[in-house]
Amino acid sequence: MENIPKQKKTVLLFTRIHRVFVLTVVILVSKSPTVLADADQESSVGEVQEPPIERQEMGMISVTASRVAEAIKDTPVAIEIIDQQALETVKFVDSRDELLNRIPGNSLSRNLRIPIGGKNYTINLLDGMAVRSFGRGTNGFIDEVNTFDIERVEVIKGPASALYGSNALGGVINVITRDPPSHPEYRIWGELGNNDRVRGGVSAAGSRDDLGYFFDLNGLDYEGGQERTALERKTVSGKLIRDFDVDASLSLRAEYLETSEESPGSLDQAAFDQDWQQAAIDDAYTDQQILSATVGYVTGLGPQSEVEIKYAVRSHEEQGMPSWNATADYGEDDMLNHNLVATYHRDFDRYRSRVIVGMDLQRSHVEEDSYDARSSDSNIELDRSWNIVAEVASPFLQYEISPVAPMRVSLGARYDRVTYDANNLDHSLDDRAEFSNLTPKAGATYELNKENSLWFGYNTGFVVPSRSALFSSTRYITDPDLKSEKAKNIDFGLRGRLMAGRLTYDVALYDTKIRDMVVIEDRPGMDAYVNAGEIEVKGVETSLSYRPLDGLRFALAHTYARNKYREYVTGSNDYSGNYLAASPLHHLNARVTWTPRAELDLELEWDHLSAYHTNSDNSTDPQGQYERPDLFHLRVSYGTGPWSLWAHALNLFDKQYAERVSYSVPSRFSSGGRSFTSGTERSLYAGVSYTWR
């Protein structure tokens, strides 16, 4: 391999490691005496089997994959569950940089799997409900929820449109909030750190008779290490659950979030080399006020059927000047989103079959105002205003069956009808766009034994063009007749545990093709949105956890992704065959946790990215690819009785790095060259909490 370039050597090495690992697991499982024993002890076809053994750190139950509680081993999708233990360990402020980098499949730009910042390929859910306005999904959604009111985060990767509608080509992020505990529990805590970091909060929870309650109030004030990265966040949330009998309950949750965040903008090469923590823009900021409420009612209709009706409403007001464009005007967005979901499921003893049927209704109303200056002065004249309403009506159906004892098959479909109505300030443009699509899915799981399983999935999806592409862009020619983007995905995997539970693993291989991509075509005078692109994203995602000794644990999350343009021609530029920008072949996150005594935990985290192309051309950047330095994070926690203490050091060795680097050739919109989104210098903080029951 002496003559093979370093990058290709790395690719070959990790590819071989994946192949050897998967083959080894299959051999170990197939030779395990428990396989035959389990086969002999399996119940006959049609009888209810015992629930599978819970697997360490992978969670036993998912409520996202099929909208009802389901064992992970019966789930034919790539899924990651970030549990309460991980949330307590990380205590994140920025979920993309501190939390999602610990699982495979997150990209460097906006979406799961697919690193394209201008695309809405990720669906955001709160307790299974769509709370963000239609077409505004992002992998940073977790930061828009009270982070101390999260029980777990379920992340489904790849198209999930058969149950969750359009825009899920990259995946689904479902934040599950906490339920009240059975006994009263009260907590007060505080945290201090460098760069004037102050954070703290109080919570109260418990149950009395048939009524459970949860309340949390917390706040953050942080100046940030880089200039103009100050962040203020205030959050309050509460939940009530009333149990009427064994089979019926009513839940009500409300939340208010207020944030004020400065934005430094992106630095050019000279500025980044001179002082990577300086700001490029001195007035960019965003203020947000988010108020949401969810009500849900669930009742049993006999021992094997259930009906659930949920309604969620969310008001999101946003004001400020964006940092992505130094000449962008001051803007105000008012967004109101409604979501109503009714689901019925019925279990049958014969073949362990299950039917899930439901209706998903969503209405998003967005008002976008822009003023002709970078100022919020009320005397500034309103320049542009848009009023856009999106309505979605979607029936869905899924059928699950176990034709033989170790196998479970699922078939599903969803029909989406989406309508956009838009008008501008003077009603000189009133337009409407309609889209409809039938989205099928299929999957199967096969239990090798009670602790290991294979799975296969075929999923399709579609994405409605953005509002900007259809109606409201001021820089490009729009087209309300654009077609929706379509995707097909095939993936399969192996998950389970070995060595008496000391080794847990989850490996997924996937291949997603997206056609009719909406791209910007170069044209004389003004560029235009057109359906012209086709991409393919494929790779291998691996999660491993190994406990060689009590008190010592190793964990690893690895993503190998080959994201390429199959066909992508815009004017004189032909990117066909090129890698997507900001798409490293490898992302490796490894942690070692040492527990020398029951009260003390120490975790060292290593995060590695391989080099990536800085633009779609793959060749015009004179400096070639960008390779971020490796980052290390240290976390220490100590708990005794009602007291808990922690101390964290992020970017332990104070490395100079960019979260993302892009390159552009000179144009009428920019002077070209490299653009650096700076990372954060070393961050140190410590906290203490007191909990009484």
Identify the residue with better confidence: 323 or 167.
Answer: 167
When mean pLDDT is compared over 17-21, 153-157, 632-636, the highest value belongs to 632-636
> If pLDDT is split at 50, 70 and 90, which confidence band does 9 have?
low
Q: State the average pLDDT for the chain.
A: 88
What's the CA dihedral at 655, 660, 665, 670 to 10 degrees?
-100
Q: Supply the pLDDT for residue 649.
A: 98
The predicted pLDDT at position 200 comes to 98
- pLDDT value, residue 52: 31
Q: What pLDDT, on a 0 to 100 scale, did the predictor assign at position 60?
A: 59
Average pLDDT on 458-474 reads 88
pLDDT over 50 at 457, yes or no: yes
Average pLDDT on 212-222 reads: 98
- Both tokens of 592, joined, read 């070692």
pTM of the full predicted structure?
0.91
pLDDT band at 428; cut points 50, 70, 90: low
| pLDDT higher than 60, residue 58 | no
Q: What is the pLDDT of residue 324?
A: 62
For residue 216, the one-letter residue type is D
**What's the pLDDT at 379?**
60
For residue 648, what are the contacts with CB-CB under 8 A and spacing of at least 6?
Answer: 91, 633, 634, 635, 636, 683, 684, 685, 686
pLDDT class of 468 with cuts at 50, 70, 90: confident
Residue 230: predicted pLDDT: 97
Q: Is the pLDDT of residue 42 over 60?
A: no
Nearby residues of 209 by Cβ (< 8 Å), 6 or more positions away: none
Q: At what angle do helices 33-41 and 6-31 cross, to 10 degrees?
A: 50
Question: What number is the average pLDDT over the span 340-353?
Answer: 95
Judged against a pLDDT cut of 60, whether residue 567 lies above it is answered with: yes
Q: How do residues 246-261 score in pLDDT, each as one tens digit?
A: 789 999 999 999 999 9
Q: For the chain, give the percent of residues with pLDDT over 90.
A: 72
Is pLDDT of 50 > 50? no
pLDDT confidence tier of residue 54, bands split at 50, 70 and 90 = very low
pLDDT of residue 473: 79
Which of 11-25, 151-165, 519-533, 634-648 has the least mean pLDDT?
11-25
Q: What is the mean pLDDT of residues 223-229?
A: 94
Check residue 303 and give its pLDDT: 87
pLDDT digits (tens, 9 = 90+) for 484-509: 999 999 999 999 999 999 999 999 99
Q: DSSP assignment of 215-273, as one string?
A: EEEEEEEE--SSTT--EEEEEEEEEEEEEEETTEEEEEEEEEEEEEEE----EEHHHHH
b/e code 31-58 from CB counts within 10 Å (16+ = b)? ebeebeebeeebeeeeeeeeebeebebb
Task: Assign 3-class secondary structure to 363-395.
Answer: EEEEEEEEECCCCCCCCCCEEEEEEEEEEEEEE
Query: Which amino acid would we find at residue 116?
Result: I
Residues constituting the chain: 693
Q: Which amino acid is at 692?
A: W
CATH architecture of 32-692: Beta Barrel (2.40)
**pLDDT of res. 669:** 61
Q: What's the pLDDT at 375?
A: 65
Query: What pLDDT, on the 0 to 100 scale, is given for residue 96?
Result: 94
Q: Give the mean model confidence (pLDDT) for residues 132-154.
A: 93
For 631, counting Cβ atoms within 10 Å of its Cβ (0-12 exposed, 13-18 middle, 19+ buried), the class is buried
Whether the Cβ atoms of residue 264 and residue 280 lie closer than 8 Å to each other:
yes
Q: Which of 20-29, 192-201, 313-322, 327-336 has the highest mean pLDDT?
A: 192-201
Q: What is the mean pLDDT of residues 329-357?
A: 94
List pLDDT tens digits, range 526-557: 889 999 889 999 999 999 999 999 999 999 99
Q: Any idea which of 105-109, 391-395, 571-575 has the lowest mean pLDDT?
A: 571-575
399 vs 411: CA distance, rounded Å: 5
- Predicted local distance difference test score (pLDDT) of residue 245: 79
Chain center to CA of 155: 6
576 contacts 528 by C-beta, under 8 angstroms? no
Look at the block and give the residue holding tokens 């409201």: 472
What is the rounded average pLDDT of the residues 558-563?
Answer: 98
pLDDT tens digit sequence for 593-602:
999 999 999 9
Question: pLDDT at residue 1 above 70?
Answer: no
pLDDT of residue 378: 53
Tell which residue, 525, 438, 422, has the closest CA to residue 470: 422
What pLDDT, on a 0 to 100 scale, did the predictor assign at position 19? Answer: 55
Share of the chain above pLDDT 70, in %: 88
